[in-house]
Structure 1
Amino acid sequence: MNITISTEKKETFSQISNNFIDFHMADANGEFVKVYLYLVRLYSCGRPVSVSDIADFLNCKENDVCRAIKYWVSRGVLSFTYDSGRRITGIVLKNIDAPDRLEEEGLLDFTASMLEDEQPAAAEVTEEKENIRHIEEVDIRSGIEAAETENKAPEKRKIDKKDLNSKLIDENFKDLKSQAEAYFARALTPADINMMIYIYDDLHFKKELFEYLLEYCATIGKTNSKYVEKVAINWYELGFTERQEAVDYTDTFNSLYRRIFKELGITGRTVPTPAEMEFIKKWKKEFGYDEEIIGEACRRAILSRPNSATFAYVNGILESWFKDGVKIFGDIKGADQRFSKAKKTKTSDQRLGTFGNYKQSSTDEEWDELTKMYIKEVNNQ
């Protein structure tokens, strides 16, 4: 049963950017979201506030508030203002734009029709935006992006009446169309038909491969025409011609995604964001690490930071292992031993990492100092 959202207009409201909700909220720690929402509320009332005030209101520690602010600054959602002495004087709620890559790749052009250019229906645009963040796939199995292969997909052409009429009497295509409607749980749009004709005629997908494409996209909840087409192009450029090749491929990287999400306690989604995919590609391609090593790094990250383990933190662990010569899972034990030995020889005032031979970066140290300074200054201590 659908529900509607309404208001009695007896309360005041704080305005939250739709781009914050669409592109930042789902990936953030819930406590960080609470801090951001309260900062928006404080902005609307216009009164000065201290870190301790925020911590008291949210029933958390001052360091938790500073970690949340640090996170949102790193995401480009907040920024600081400073006086002439570079002392923090305030926090700025920044304008939040959609990721640049959406415009660069032309993914916001929703024009799609079988016979002529026309503006898409509002429902199609809404569905497009819901799926747009996860429209890219990375080749997790081999660590090679599809764009780097020689098997470049042909340009998509305009559909004419001859193309459309030929498909209306093609039994295989009619069967695929019926399956698509069943998998997508809706009537197909002109953009859907356009996409299917392109994959059928220009990418020359066999019926069995096409069926698995529809099944796979429906399974992960991504049935937008542009997303399905992007996956098909990726498979084409990887040289897949048989269903089993695609099955083996998706099983490989889906297994890695599930392992990472499980270890980090990420729920509610099955596909990484583009930024997370970049980390995964680095771990697979540059470091050459398999699922076991990556999973172990995630496990240690969540032990070290139960409420704030991020892909960036996992990357710090894996990067440290890579520099220490870890190539296979068995090498981690030796890296741990070398780390423990080095730890004993360091003086007590040196800053050390915690798990997995992860040493804090200079950026982490700067942030720690900034946190201390921020608490002191804003609280007028």
Structure 2
Amino acid sequence: MNNTEFVIEQNKDVYLFSTEVENLMINEFFTSANGDYVKVYLLGLMRAKHGIVEDRSKTANVLGITPDEIDAAWDYWESVGVIRRDYMPDDSYRVVFLSQISRFYGNKKSRSSGSESEEQDSRLVNLDLKHLYDTYESASGRSIPSSDARKIADTIGTFGVSPEVYAYAIKYSSDNGHNDVRYINKVAINWHKEGCNTEADVKALLDKDAKRRYLYGRIFKEIGFNRQWNSGDCEMMDRWFDKFGYNIEEVLEAVKLTAGKREPSLRYVDAVLENKYRKAGGIEPSYKANNQNGAQGPGPAGGKSTQAEKARNTNSEGSVNVSKRVLEEYYKYLREKAIHDQKEKQQKLETEMPVMQKFASIEADIKEKLLAGLGSIGKEKRTELLQRQKELIEQKKEFLAVNGYPEDYLEVKYKCPICKDHGIMDDGMRCSCVKERADEAYRWNKDRQTK
């Protein structure tokens, strides 16, 4: 028998072996991590390959850091999804190193089967979150604690703040001397509530705030105030611009009426502007009392306006003067009506064709999964859901066409498809429909006041 057996001599000293590190780990994580955290990871990986139990005190001495810093390092690596800790009854823990290659590029079927695979899938690295962690560390000059990492992830997932807005909130807060995640969260959430979804939206909002502060300054200077305005002052002055729809020249005209008064006040200016607003047809409880002479609007239910009334309520461009509040309420009415009409058509089709109920049920299920998984589901799963949603929409269009309905039959039909009955286009500019809507809003307001 001439068989030959090949054997590699086994080193007895662990330090004579080599430890392999995935290139994906180096490129995606090591380049942005704290240097001490990288050392903790590498030493732990080496010991994991040989089943060595770590004495944290000795390891701390070897690395020149404290045991608490070792815990902080594992907090970080767990927060970005490259390790998992299994805790023991005595509060010690076992570090499990997770393969990044298998999680990003592994077999889809194997990941979707079994509880362990599902757990790993739920721990997929969210690259948007990782970018935010990197941005925070760059802005603050320190590694992000796992508790702060969770707070950021919760803000993205729970409140729906876009990663782009949150990244700008980090930069904005840092530039103003604030690196506390709680402060950054408040900034990001407030911007989100204001309708900001991109960095451009935020910059437009900040520009608007800056312009508003300039207006506050002009008003205070005209009145003669030497103090800084407070939140109550801002709320009152905002009302003049946002609710009543006045421009700065009209406000300053009212401010001039305080000249010569011993104690000029914003409340006096507010009363002047409010009375002017009511007389112009603003929505106030005293509207009917101000129109006891029986004058009615030009709407279908009312008589014709007098020439004097037309002159008083028409601007130089030929469109009717209507307060900003009335115009916004009319736009809201149009949007709600369009949505209501769409729901009625949907219900009618579902009654006539039960298959439409199935379409609606599947679509609602996909939307629920997308919303529930914000900030937590993997990129691949989200892409899959979005693809299913797109395919469902196409199937629904084909079904409608086969049954004699237009493809867009179930879409919301806004009066203005450009701005979708908001009066403002996506680029922030005023829509061309505003002039026509203002005329309609004036008649709509008159009609409902006489009912």
How would you bin the TM-score normalised by the shorter chain?
0.3 to 0.5
Q: TM-score by structure 2 length?
A: 0.28
Bigger CA radius of gyration? 2
Q: TM-score by structure 1 length?
A: 0.32
- Which structure has more relative contact order (CA 8 Å, sep 6+)? It is 1
